Amino acid sequence: MTTRRTATVEFVRGSVRDGRRRALATLPSLFTLANMLCGFAAILVSIRGAYTLAAVLIGLSVFFDIADGAVARLVGAVTPFGLQFDSLADLVSFGLAPALLAFTLFSQGRDEWDPLGWLACFLWVACAAIRLARFNTTIDPTADKRYFVGMPSPGAAGVVLASVFAFGDQMQGRDRLWVLLVVAVPAALMVSTIRFRSFRSLVSPRNGRPYGLVAAVLVLVVGFSVAPVVTGCALAYSYLLAPVLVPLVSPLGRLVPDRLKEALS
């Protein structure tokens, strides 16, 4: 027999459960919001000429972009709203912010007619938007989740960041047209049909054993602590060249024990 007291207790418990569900559903969006905030801040500081700080902020956007997807899968809060919100944040952080950072470096902050720089940086923004729109509208449940079609926008932005850290002083000035290749090549790869490896299995391991994630984090922490510029360039440019490098080094994968492969998958 249900008493008034029992009904009240059940109502309170249900309200607590609903509140927890809403809090968990909101958590990934907070990471997405942090991603957008860092991208917007990078735009502002790029205009002021703080190029290194802008690169750091875009790097933080990459971290929050990875985190929001991992958190969403962890708490079971993958929603159509989250997908669209993430894409809008990515357009700010990995579309507008890297393009403006590259343009301010190329033009040295001079407000003059610069058709070549405008064209190259608009190409980046357009390709990033096309890449994100294509990703949202061509979600195939049967597709191989291990790969992206086209270079993901955070990976493309990483090429710009690594270049700024490695030779930002040499990138300034319109006589250095090679700088535009740092923008044009990743932009073209974003809208290509070339497959790039997804590391979702590292961030969200299916077997519940995050050995691969722990190993990757340790390697990155040591690398960025000892030689941050070299580590950043190696990470960004190896991913850029992955479609060429992977077929060359894949035969070496046979030397890795199957047990180690399973642990890192």
The crossing angle, in degrees rounded to 10, of helices 228-240 and 179-190 is 50
What band does 219 get if pLDDT is binned at 50, 70 and 90? Answer: confident
Q: Which residues contact 129 (CB under 8 A, 6 or more apart)?
A: 91, 95
Q: Which residues contact 6 (CB under 8 A, 6 or more apart)?
A: none
What band does 100 get if pLDDT is binned at 50, 70 and 90? Answer: very high
pLDDT of residue 203: 56
What band does 82 get if pLDDT is binned at 50, 70 and 90? Answer: confident
Spatial contact of 153 and 128, defined as CB atoms under 8 Å apart? yes
What band does 264 get if pLDDT is binned at 50, 70 and 90? Answer: very low
Question: Across all residues in the chain, what is the average pLDDT?
Answer: 78
Spatial contact of 87 and 135, defined as CB atoms under 8 Å apart? yes
Percent of the chain with pLDDT over 70: 70
**Model confidence at 127: pLDDT above 80:** yes
- Mean pLDDT within 129-157: 81
The closest of 128, 104, 103, 243 to 186, measured between CA atoms, is: 128
Percent of the chain with pLDDT over 90: 26
pLDDT digits (tens, 9 = 90+) for 146-162: 778 889 999 999 999 89
- Mean pLDDT within 208-218: 68
Spatial contact of 147 and 198, defined as CB atoms under 8 Å apart? yes
Phi-psi region of 22 (alpha: psi -120 to 50; beta: other; left: phi over 0): alpha
The crossing angle, in degrees rounded to 10, of helices 97-107 and 179-190 is 160
Beta-bridge partners for 148 = 196
The crossing angle, in degrees rounded to 10, of helices 4-47 and 97-107 is 10
**Model confidence at 167: pLDDT above 90:** no
**Model confidence at 6: pLDDT above 70:** no
pTM exceeds 0.85, yes or no: no
**Model confidence at 139: pLDDT above 60:** yes
Half-sphere exposure of 55 (CA within 13 A, CB side): 21
pLDDT of residue 26: 78
Spatial contact of 104 and 120, defined as CB atoms under 8 Å apart? no
Q: Is 138 helix (H, G, I), strand (E, B) or coil?
A: coil
The number of residues making up the chain comes to: 265
Which domains, from first to last, does the chain contain? 4-201 (1.20.120.1760)
